[in-house]
Chain A
Amino acid sequence: MTDELSAIERYNHLARQGAAVTADSLGQLTGATVRSRATDVRLTVPAGIADRLGDRPYVAIQADFDGHLDGAAAIAIAREDVRTVTETMGADDALHQSGLETIGNLAVSGFVDVLANAFQEAIYLTPPRVVEGAGAEVLPLEEYASDEWIITIASQLELVDHVLDLELVMLPDGEGLFHALDPSDRDGSALERIVRIGDLAREGTEQAAGHLSMMTGLEADLALSRLRFATVEAIPTEADPGNVVGTVFELEDAPGGYLALLFEEEAAKRVVDAMVPTDDPFDDWAGMDKSAIEELGNVTTSGLIDGWAEAQGSTIAHSPPEFVADDRVAILGAVANRLALEQSTAVIGDAAISLDGGAVACEIYLLPRHPLLREALDDLMSDDRTDGDG
């Protein structure tokens, strides 16, 4: 039987090795301590990458590869991060450009070499080309629709106390990648199952956006979702510290695990004000404010999971909403700790809904338990096949 989670776990493991090789190479180049902080594999869409990179200046090193895997690779590094690295090396402006090419080369070849070694097959890289521009325009994504699923690797390296964000886009033919990861997967069914989770998460996010709009009267502008495949410790590591308010649920039926819906504190106040306008002073998340957030959590959760439950032909029971008002990293860390009791890696359904012209962002984290997620996928795929045959 295809085990898509094991295949993606292997890819994630290789991605982490690639990040460690890149960190070592950069360490040797700069003479400073560089280490891999967090690396994950993502099922995402070009629009999601564009949103993440924004319009900040980026530099990318692009190369094509063929051999055991065919495709394109590119690594995007924020321009200010490149400067941090070259300054650490003591390079002046004249050396800046060559430093930049060196960094990109090290990173792309580091990741590709790790894959070639793991597969015991040759992967050939074309000479790299440097592309500079704003945000995702430096990446070779032209041939993909903005909502088409692609698999990428995101990695954070730490240069002493400075975090460098790298976006590595490896775009091998998807079936080829999964066949390389698991040679028994001859028909690409692992990729099909991963994409099925992504589709359900996306549909759920769109439903949730509708429910949020309905409850608050604030228009939903954008709903983006992606899947991240990471170690459990990376769940909180990649989150930004900061106070958030929201709800956490435990899902009792497949796909199981936890669901967290979080707002930054100011956004949460705005949401509550939109739901229950009052002249009373803010009550520090007691009474009405807390109830409003809990109710919003209930309604949004139903948007997220009802479609999934319907596709499974079952219901998904969940715990009552657990109100949280704390540091984002501490909340996600506590959820990660619960998952870590039984699994070392996680599939993270990670979504963001923007409301009211971007003034309010709702962050959603779906963290299923692996055995129940597999169970859910088996149900979903067997239903799909039955539907297809019928």
Chain B
Amino acid sequence: MAMADQALEIDSSARGQPRNPAEWIRVETVDRLAVGIADGAILHGGDLRTSGLGSCVAVAICAPDEGVGGLIHPMLPHGGISVENRAKYVDTAVADLVATLEGIGIDRSSMVGGLVGGATMFSLDREADSIGERNASAAEAQLAAFEIPVQTEDVGGSSGRTATVSTDTGEITVRTAKTDSS
């Protein structure tokens, strides 16, 4: 996958470290970027947006002091060690996002997290723990495991959401497709 020509210039101490250990996470310097399903991106000072969040959960990790943030949109809670597509699972995707941010010189202690999505869209999903609830729990647990505090959380309910992350400030704006009835 092609990388941006203009790399983030964050911290010289990151020199020699892999700039992007997870190839699926794009590191870009543009004003805005859409993040798809099973996809992820990091921006320096622009807006990251992901739509169509139903039972999927979007996880944002930002370093507001650095004006850098990343956003992922995994589908299922747990992938395990040898998954084919690490972008698809909350546990592997969060680990890759943290590693990629660290790879470009972002200190873990400056990171704050945000969670959006994890809705229960159908009653079919209510038979057992819904995928949405499991996704949200897995994201909370994984951020806690990396000791990243959650600053914004908008999860659950039964509506689809769109999330926009301002990487300048770490602020997350959430829009729903309908008025949430739950």
Q: What residues make up the interface of A, taking CB atoms closer than 8 Å to B?
A: 20, 23-24, 27-28, 31-35, 37-38, 160-161, 231-233, 236-237, 239, 241, 243, 248, 250, 319, 322, 324-334, 336-338, 340-341, 344
Contacts and interface: CB of A to CB of B under 8 A. Distances in A.
Interface in B37-71: 37-38, 51-56
A333 B28 contact: no
Contacts of A250: 124
Contacts of A331: 54, 121, 160
B11 interface: no
Contacts of B149: none
Interface in B120-173: 121-125, 131-132, 159-162
B2 A333 contact: no
Contacts of B162: 241, 327
B3 interface: yes
B37 A330 contact: no
A333 B55 CA distance: 7
Given A27-B2, A333-B160, 4 more contacts: A34-B2, A160-B28, A233-B85, A250-B124
A20 B3 CA distance: 13
A248 B75 contact: no
B131 A337 contact: yes
Nearest to A285: B178
How would you classify the secondary structure of chain B's contact residues: helix, strand, loop or mixed? loop
A99 to B, nearest CB: 18
A327 B76 contact: no
Contacts of B76: 337, 340-341
A161 B30 contact: yes
B26 interface: yes
A340 B160 contact: no
A328 B37 CA distance: 13
B54 A322 contact: no
Nearest to A248: B122
How would you classify the secondary structure of chain A's contact residues: helix, strand, loop or mixed? mixed
B104 interface: no
Given A160-B30, A324-B122, A33 B4 contact: yes
Contacts of A338: 124-125, 131
Contacts, number: 122
Contacts of A243: 177-178
Contacts of A322: 122-124
Contacts of A24: 1-2
B11 to A, nearest CB: 22
A248 B55 CA distance: 15
Interface string B22-36: 000010101011101
Nearest to A325: B178
Contacts of B51: 241, 327, 329
A24 B88 CA distance: 22
A333 B125 contact: no
Top 5 nearest A-B pairs (CB, nearest first) are A330-B160, A329-B52, A330-B54, A27-B2, A334-B54
Contacts of A248: 122, 124
Given A161-B34, A327-B51, A33 B3 contact: yes
A33 to B, nearest CB: 5
Nearest to A319: B124
Interface string B80-110: 0000110110000000000000000000000
Nearest to B36: A237
26 contacts: A24-B1, A33-B2, A33-B26, A35-B1, A38-B36, A161-B32, A236-B52, A319-B124, A326-B121, A326-B159, A326-B160, A327-B51, A327-B54, A330-B52, A330-B119, A331-B160, A333-B55, A334-B121, A337-B55, A337-B56, A340-B75, A340-B76, A340-B88, A341-B131, A344-B84, A344-B85
Given A161-B33, A334-B131, A337-B76, A326 B177 contact: yes
A233 B37 contact: yes
A34 B2 CA distance: 7
A330 B5 contact: no
A190 to B, nearest CB: 23
Nearest to B121: A334
B178 A35 contact: no
Contacts of B1: 20, 23-24, 35
Contacts of B33: 160-161
B85 A333 contact: no
A326 B36 CA distance: 18
Nearest to A24: B2
Contact of B52 (A23, A27, A241, A324): A241
Contacts of A27: 2
Contacts of B55: 333-334, 337
A29 B38 CA distance: 27
Contacts of B123: 322
Contacts of B38: 233, 237
B121 A330 contact: yes
Contacts of B177: 243, 326-327, 330
A333 B36 contact: no
Contacts of A344: 84-85
